[in-house]
Amino acid sequence: MSSPKNGFYRQEITKTLWEVRDRYRDLQPVGSGAYGTVCSAVDRRSGTKVAIKKLYRPFQSQILAKRAYRELRLLKHMKHENVIGILDVFTPDVTLEKFNGFYLVMPFMGTDLSKIMKHEKLSEDRIQFLVYQMLKGLKYIHSSGIIHRDLKPGNLAVNEDCELKLVWVYFVFLLQILDFGLARHTDAEMTGYVVTRWYRAPEVILNWMHYTQTDCSSKETHHFYPVVKDFVPYFWYSDLDQLTEIMKITGTPSQDFVQKLKSQDAKNYIKSLPKVQKKDFASVLKHASPLAVNLLENMLVLDAEERVTAAEALMHPYFEPIHDPEEEIEAEKYDDTFDNMDLPLDEWKREFSFKNGQLERPSQNKNILLC
């Protein structure tokens, strides 16, 4: 085995060899998934704790290379305090021919909303603050034309100061909103299968391959549907079970809603259901404030075209004590033209170039230095 590149060192972690920059020390395993593994580390330059992700074989196939490129592009595009972004990206490989992988460095948050909810009862003020931060992050990513397809408490990272970030990577680990691998710019090929069932919007279940930006991005608040799960005493075993439970709360949809559905099977299913009246949310959410109940009712509207958007929800009176328009910023539109590209592996590698930790378009030099 050759010596580490100058400025790097090697360490074996859970039977995997890591070769990272000298500035990152005290590596500790955090989690792993289908596409990579994550360690925490201390950045000696800043003295802060960071999360470092190592992708598994990103250039094993064209599909994996494209996913890796998308993840890096998405992370670089996100520049918002409530959305996971990237602090550094590096590779120990020195030429394009030897370029086999890279590392992503992100903020380390420490825990996620799912764990917090399991171990403590959240006060009204804390709930208000967490939901406000989540909506700010959602407004930002939606404004860029990007959607998050598996937004759930486990993908909402929180630090000790109750600061929240939406996390996106190819697998979920216990840090911020971390699922950029599942987050996609809107396209006509999206299905609901990647979305944890409890967190699927009704339109995802009903339309599957007809998932549009109207369904899930500009009007997307499908991440609030897990609230319905807490209204029933058992788990759902199928999407239709879930849909039935949702409608026990929201009521049977109108004929206008049914006509909007693109799937004839979905139309037939809705028509076959017995008529159910919408529940009084205040009677279900007995311990929530009237403003919180009203906000939730606006979020849990079956028709996505009538459902409140993240931007609209931020204007709700529930957030009046903490509402700050200057913090509710929008993003630049995300350029997804590369999503339609089908390149050989060598060409995908050429799309990556590192200079001082920043992704740039490489030159045509086949021996480009990746530093």
Give the chain's domains with CATH numbers. Answer: 21-108+342-350 (3.30.200.20), 111-327 (1.10.510.10)
Under the banding of pLDDT at 50, 70 and 90, the label for residue 73 is: confident
Its pTM surpasses 0.95: no
> Residue 55 pLDDT more than 60?
yes
CA distance 140 to 79: 9
Residue 280 confidence (pLDDT): 92
pLDDT tens digit string along 241-285? 777 788 888 898 888 888 888 888 888 888 888 888 999 999 988
pLDDT tens digit string along 106-116? 999 888 888 89
Arithmetic mean of pLDDT, 273-299: 91
Residue 54 assigned ligand-binding role: yes
Residues with a known catalytic role = 150
Mean pLDDT rounded to a whole number for the chain: 77
